[in-house]
Amino acid sequence: MFHVTKRVGKVMAESTKARVSKHRSQMRKAGLKLIQIAVPDPARRGFAAECRRQALVVNGGADEKRVLREMEALIDTDEWT
């Protein structure tokens, strides 16, 4: 099910702009910095194959356990609910 919003002149654009501005302001007040990053597109052709390839490179390798330990040490799950 898709939600469709009809645009009514500039009113909708201004309303959206105001909501986005308010949200960004609230995020900054909460101590968060908004960023924009580019990541690989999982829908892109070859993405799954490249994931498999990289997983196989580390799977069972001499450094696998060390790398997993290091990654687990960096993960902060204290506030996860």
pLDDT tens, position by position, 43-67: 999 999 999 998 888 888 888 888 8
**Phi, psi at residue 36, to the nearest 5°?**
-130, 130
Round to whole Å and give the CA distance between 20 and 34.
12
Total of domains in the chain: 1
- Which residue's structure tokens are 């490249």? 50
User: Which pair of tokens denotes residue 21?
Assistant: 């501005």
The domain of 13 spans 9-32+41-74
Average pLDDT score over the chain: 84
**pTM metric for this prediction:** 0.46
Asked whether residue 80 is assigned to any structural domain, the reply reads no
Residue 74 has pLDDT above 50, yes or no: yes
Asked whether residue 79 is assigned to any structural domain, the reply reads no
Residue 31 has pLDDT above 80, yes or no: yes
Round to whole Å and give the CA distance between 6 and 41.
30
Round to whole Å and give the CA distance between 46 and 52.
10
